[in-house]
Structure 1
């Protein structure tokens, strides 16, 4: 049995279940396995033994329970990833998974009980982020200032990255989503949560959008010369729809780069749309009249409004990744996906399922008659140069 370079903490108050988990982890070759009967004991163990890569965590126990433990390690970053192992009902475990994500912890999977060796083996094969080994750094957002983010825009540090959407049957690219990354000169490449709130407060979202569009449309011209012309999807905030100049500026860019409106899709989150004034509808209509697609993003993650979905001229539904994560063990997730696929078909809208990471998820979605997906199974977000190289190797997911 090859050894896994993993330090794992088992948090379980039932002595037999705890011993079983420890034995399985050692059988699977984990480098070090620690055990604790409650959250307080687990936190004390972390202070003494140091951070661990994975916490295999039960939830309901006397004293400091699993939720309190997760909240504590979310702040300290002494745990890289979390695997849930609990007898709680599926809907409660799904809520806990959302809490894990909100705490900034990586969620590896939900095993339920009794523990299954093969299911555990599969989760241990996933990439595991390293836990913090020293003081937790201040979030980049706290250190960023308005003058710094303005300079980043002017210096071209906010760069577009591209994540493909793919046909689940053939692996062919259906389109790419354009995502922003901050190539910070001293902190490396920063993800959107590190700078998006600051851009919003400084009212710089239009500057970001049109800067990203210029670079992405230049890349689109290069891709056309290489025989590729995937649809490009840009994130758009509901607050940007109140600007009467939005659609004309987009049209001018399309003319300048010789790109048809049908080559673009604009993705809007449902939570933002619920707050959007009626005056924003005219910009959505204008974009559709230009041939652009409109996607409702993270569908199901907020407070869905079927009335709003039917009233606005959307062409695509993007189903939130949380439903795919629970697909194999949570029947409600399968029902939600099936219902959304049926809704999209009835409304004449395509459905893109986000967060596909495994072949098992892909096959399950194919059985549900899902056609299009997005996720790490096909590709992670990449730079423009990497995308050109990647497209030259198609198909990659067949």
Structure 2
């Protein structure tokens, strides 16, 4: 078995481990055994810090090597045509999280990643609808993210699947926007209502004017098309402030939180909610004291 370097993650920390490359059977068995689990990274309001949505990301909780990222297993799932099985597993586990979040007064929407091969499945909309019905989750709480490259290469059948998902009430997001070669004409043909600006352009803020130019043009496009623009890779307070000044409303990145497992995201949301309540209450208390 060949040896490769992969990243093993625990909370916000990353470290490199030398482990053997996994076989397709090992990955399939891990999926069936529930070892491949959803982790959750918040999307947040850049102005208030409020979190109303999380992106669902797959992590392999390996019994020997710890938490492993998608690069250690995703290619086997793609080649083994197991992406739908992964999606439905992630959805089922995430819908259970929604119920727990609601019990602690946190109302969340969920975003899931789709591959181009999944969009070719004409049964996908009805399968997702059936699963949502089982868990009593409204379609409007679901966003399906497809990368720009995969979206612009989509066949007419895949585009129709996207239209059907939109008709159900799901949102469609163009992920990693700015890294592909889509034309405005092609974009206007796609049934999306969110653009996720690739983290590359956020990293360029303050060092390369082209980053700010791309962000500004994307924000203007979002305004014209009436779609939400999400800035990915927000990691510093300076980036946060610059994006706010440029008119960006929604962000995602380590400045807010890394991806967390189900238990940790629930704890994180509870603590954050208390902190935000204190931020709101403190000025009111100060104002009351000054008026006495």
Tell me, yes or no, whether TM beats 0.5.
Answer: yes
**2:83 alignment counterpart:** 205
TM alignment of 1:380-391, pairs within 5 A: 380-391=258-269
- Correspondence for 2:120: 242
Alignment-derived partner of residue 135 in structure 2? 257
Work out whether residues 319 and 353 of structure 1, in 8 Å CA contact, stay in contact via their aligned partners in 2. yes
Which 10-residue stretch deviates more, 386-395 or 369-378? 386-395
Contact 1:239–1:276 at 8 Å: present in 2 too? no
- Indicate whether 1:394 and 2:275 are aligned: no
Aligned with residue 345 of structure 1, among 223, 231, 235: 223
- Which residue, 232, 255, 263 being the options, matches 1:354? 232
1:189 to 67, 70, 75: 67
CA distance in 2, matches of 1:129, 1:239: 30
Q: In 2, distance between residues paired with 1:224 and 1:359?
A: 30
Question: Could you list the runs of 5+ residues in structure 2 that have no partner in the other structure?
Answer: 280-292
Superposed counterparts of 1:309-388, under 5 Å: 309-388=187-266
User: For residues 144 and 308 of structure 1, what CA distance do their matches in structure 2 show?
Assistant: 39
Q: Deviations over 1:364-388 (max 9, x none)?
A: 0000011000000000100111111
SS of structure 2 residue aligned to 1:303: coil
1:137 counterpart = 2:32: no
What is residue 179 of structure 1 aligned with on the other side? 57
2:69 and 2:62 map into 1 onto residues whose CA distance is 10
Aligned pair 1:147/2:28, yes or no?
no
Q: Structure 2 length normalisation: TM-score?
A: 0.87
Give the whole-Å Cα distance in 2 for the aligned partners of 1:274 and 1:362.
30
- Structure 1 residues 155 and 128 mapped into 2: Cα distance closer, same or farther (>3 Å)? closer
Q: Which secondary structure state, in structure 2, belongs to the residue aligned with residue 267 of structure 1?
A: strand
**What RMSD in Å do the two structures reach over aligned CA positions?**
2.2
Residue aligning to 2:45: 167
SS of 1:164's equivalent in the other structure is strand
CA drift at 1:128: 9.6
- Is the CA contact 1:221–1:257 (under 8 Å) kept in the aligned structure 2? no
SS at match of 2:55: strand
Q: Residues 137 and 344 from structure 1, CA distance in 2 versus in 1: closer, same or farther, beyond 3 angstroms? A: same
Per the alignment, residue 276 of structure 1 pairs with 154
Runs of 4+ in 1 over 6 A off after TM superposition: 127-130
Distance 2:177 2:255 in 1: 20
Q: For the Cα contact (< 8 Å) 1:161–1:178, is it kept in 2?
A: yes
Displacement of 1:323 in angstroms is 0.5
The CA deviation string for residues 7-45 of structure 1, in whole angstroms up to 9 with x for no partner, is xxxxxxxxxxxxxxxxxxxxxxxxxxxxxxxxxxxxxxx
Cα drift, residue 137 of structure 1: 3.0
Q: Secondary structure at the match of 1:318?
A: strand
| SS of residue in 2 equivalent to 1:392 | helix
State the partner residue of 1:267.
Answer: 145
Structure 1 residues not aligned, in runs of 5+: 1-75, 78-103, 106-126
Shift of 1:194: 1.2
1:85-109, Cα deviation, whole Å (9 max, x unpaired)? xxxxxxxxxxxxxxxxxxx99xxxx
**Which structure is larger by alpha-carbon Rg, 1 or 2?**
1
How far off is 1:308 after superposition? 2.5
